[in-house]
Structure 1
Amino acid sequence: MSAQVLTANFTDSEQLRSIDETLPSIGFTMPVSALSPEGWTLERPEVLALMAKLRQAGKPLGEYVQGKFYYGIKTGLNEAFVIDEATRSRLIDEDPSSAEIIKPWLRGRDIRKWKAQWAGLYLISIDSSSNKEWPWSMAETEAMARPLFAEEYPAIHRHLSHWENKLRKRDDQGKFWWELRACVYWSEFERTKIVYPDIAQGAKFSWDSSKSHLGNTAYFIPTEETWLVGLLNSKVLWWFYGSITSSIRGGFVRYFSQYMEQLPIPTASDLQKAPIIELVLRILANPDSPDVPHLEAEIDRLVYELYGLTKEEIELVEGNV
């Protein structure tokens, strides 16, 4: 029989103050062989077994989406680039071409489970000349470029000129002061995508088909697979995520890509994905419906089947989410 070590996970300081009383009730043993030099997880054997089973069911999310976890935009001066509906309307009234570069804007705080609650904000989206060819992009100097920008988007030019001094001081800018910082994945914002906040209490994955651009308090995964948002919002993956990362005060977690990429995506046929897609679409059609909890429970049931979970494993998940 291999050597065993008594282990416990203390979740608050009160447990440590009364360790003699607490340890017998929350402690468990695990083999010393599980504590490898490469690192270890101090979890009960049944938790480790379930995590291994989930991993073996398919492939990591990072591999599934080919590493496409993208961060939102850092404008360097939101007060200039992020505008409300009234400002958008004024800019378009002054010059209809302004509409070409004004995009819906989502912040991390706007993102809810399933569907974001858009706050009516927009981004003046002027990609860096290093990413996009504008009429002024090839100009050798700002003195040559600025008249071309003013001619192409006169209303936007006047608007941004109010903040010119501050915009010039930004670290995050493109070739010219009126441009946003260089970003190799600008076109991905225009795609359908799964969006999620950088910090959240619970699963907060939302489907976006509005071509919204995101602020730097949010992440996104460009994809056309609606079933994937159902999977990410499931109890199983929330349980798994909580097992590989630590929560901060209030039960919040950070959705860092280094952890997101580890989420196990089960191998599933189109036939198996179809009912999940149907349920997700029903939720997206009316995310405030009183039927949503029932639809979520049905998604969880289908996800349990995809992973082949037993009754005991389901109880382990549901008892810890």
Structure 2
Amino acid sequence: MLRGRDIKRYGYDWAGQWLIYIPWHFPYQFDESITGASEKAEKAFKEQYPAVYNHMLEYKEPLSKRNKAETGIRYEWYAMQRWGAKYWEDFSKPKIIWGEISDKSKFAFDFFGEYIPEATSFYMKGECIEYLLSALNSSVSEWLFSKVGTTTGVGTIRWKKYTIEQLIVAKLSTEQLNTHLAAFNDLKVGKMSITDFECFSNKLMYDVYKLTSDEIQYIENQQTV
């Protein structure tokens, strides 16, 4: 599990935090023949995940008192009341993650399906997300966001979803996408440093937007203010 403070630019530092996520009828959540609280599911949970089960057992009484019309009837006492049945698997897919409050753009790529429970942390998925990550972390996007974004009471930028959606991300050619993906893979396996990859990404953005040397200098000067 990650918190907003754990997320860095292009990476994150896991602080040893865990999240227990238990859907209905776990570990038989995919068994469509189960239509209510299942003793079979609870027995399997206890046998297959004894440490987690025993931990949950400590809280059985308060958990059993939740929503008396459903707990122990539609789902087991240890299961989440609402477990995101339609979209929960999206959290385990490769995605871009970021925290809302930061002086600089700090978007990272999550390869391992981390969960981010905080209300001030977000994620996005989709096509070409490796390139989108570079675009969001680029000097161009950071400058653009400074024009459309909001700040906290002390002036720190808030990277909110609705303002990020206003950012303009140029479409790359197939050749440019392939070149970028090769560089991204080098970054992923440690063949390229974050500093070198940022230089590569910024140059790519400058080329895509066809910025002049004066425009580039202006944007880069803003980064040091």
Instruction: Give the gaps of 5 or more residues in structure 1.
Output: 1-104
Q: CA deviation at 1:136?
A: 9.9
Q: Distance in 1 between matches of 2:43 and 2:33?
A: 12
**Closer, same or farther: CA 169–255 of 1 in aligned 2, 3 Å:** farther
2:136 is equivalent to residue 235 of structure 1? no
Deviations 1:94-142 (A, max 9, x none): xxxxxxxxxxx2222211100111223333221246xx83569835457
For the residues of structure 2 that align with 1:213 and 1:137, how far apart are their CA atoms? 29
CA RMSD of aligned residues (A): 3.3
- Which of 265, 282, 299 is the matching residue for 2:169? 265
Match of 2:98 in 1: 196
Q: Among 198, 222, 228, which residue is 2:125 paired with? A: 222
| Structure 2 letter corresponding to 1:263 | L
1:12 maps to none
- The alpha-carbon deviation at position 257 of structure 1 amounts to 1.6
What's the TM-score, normalizing by structure 2? 0.77
Of 41, 54, 59, which residue of structure 2 is paired with 1:163? 59
Q: Counterpart of 2:208?
A: 306
Identity of aligned residues (%): 27
Deviations 1:219-250 (A, max 9, x none): 11124631221111101111111211122255
User: What secondary structure does 1:196 align onto?
Assistant: strand
The amino acid of 1:231's aligned partner reads: A
**Partner SS, residue 266 of structure 1:** coil
Quickly say closer, same or farther: Cα 1:113–1:124, change in 2 above 3 A: same
Judged with a 3 Å threshold, the aligned counterparts in structure 2 of structure 1 residues 273 and 153 are, in CA distance, closer, same or farther, namely: same
The residue identity in structure 1 corresponding to 2:137 is N
Equivalent residue pairs, number: 213
Q: Which position in structure 1 is the counterpart of 2:110?
A: 208
Q: Secondary structure at the match of 2:200?
A: helix
Q: Which amino acid aligns with 1:255?
A: W
Q: Kindly report which structure 2 residues correspond to 1:1-321, keeping only aligned pairs within 5 A, or say none.
A: 105-128=1-24, 133=29, 138-141=34-37, 146-147=42-43, 149-151=45-47, 153-168=49-64, 175-180=75-80, 181-183=82-84, 184-216=86-118, 217-223=120-126, 225=128, 226-249=130-153, 251-286=155-190, 291-321=193-223
- Aligned mates of 1:265, 1:280 — CA distance in 2: 18
Alpha-carbon distance change, 198 to 276 in structure 1, aligned in 2, over 3 angstroms: same
Bigger proportion of residues as strand: 1
